[in-house]
């Protein structure tokens, strides 16, 4: 059964939790929004190697539970961690997984609105094996 129109009629914004390049691209596309004062909430969170997991969880909870104006939440699966180190360390061992840092919340999220979409970052390909939506689709088809 379809949801009543009241469940989604005020959902007009896209939100993003991602690396600087992904968030910048979304903002350049014109979907950036800041709510009116006094709380002035943004519809994006830029994540880098300094971002605490608790900040990512807080943004995820805000976008999915508190804000009723978000229709779609985009979240990067991976972001390159730019901590200083050798080239090999940077290339192979210092990937910050945004969605993976909060994988339990992402996998447990089943609401229709806002829709949750995992997206690739510029430096790391999309991994359908980790995507919670793709896991559900495979389960529906009996794979």
**Residue 110 above 80 pLDDT?**
yes
Q: Which domain covers residue 61, as residue numbers?
A: 5-140
Output the pTM of the full model. Answer: 0.77
68: which 2 tokens? 């009723």
What distance in Å separates the CA atoms of residue 16 and residue 108, rounded to the nearest whole number?
Answer: 18
**Residue 12 above 60 pLDDT?**
yes
Could you read off the pLDDT of 35-78 as tens digits, one per residue? 888 888 999 999 887 888 899 999 999 999 998 889 999 998 87
Cβ-Cβ contacts under 8 Å for 116 (sequence gap 6 or more): 64, 72, 73, 75, 106, 109, 132, 133
User: CA distances (Å), 138 to each of 72, 91, 128, 131, 134, in order?
Assistant: 22, 31, 10, 11, 6
Residue 111: give its domain's CATH number.
3.40.50.10580
| Count of structural domains, the chain | 1
Q: Are 120 and 105 in contact (CB under 8 A)?
A: no
């Amino acid at each position: 059964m379809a949801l009543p129109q009241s469940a989604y009629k005020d959902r007009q914004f896209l939100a993003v939790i991602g690396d600087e390049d992904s968030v910048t691209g979304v903002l350049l596309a014109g979907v950036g929004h800041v709510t009116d004062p006094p709380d002035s909430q943004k519809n994006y969170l830029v994540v880098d190697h300094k971002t605490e997991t608790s900040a990512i969880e807080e943004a995820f909870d805000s976008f999915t539970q508190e804000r009723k104006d978000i229709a779609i939440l985009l979240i990067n699966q991976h972001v390159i961690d730019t901590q200083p180190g050798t080239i090999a360390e940077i290339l192979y061992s210092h990937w910050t997984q945004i969605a993976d840092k909060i994988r339990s919340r992402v996998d447990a999220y089943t609401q229709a609105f806002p829709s949750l979409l995992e997206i690739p970052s510029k430096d790391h390909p999309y991994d359908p094996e980790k995507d919670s939506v793709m896991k559900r689709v495979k389960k529906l088809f009996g794979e």
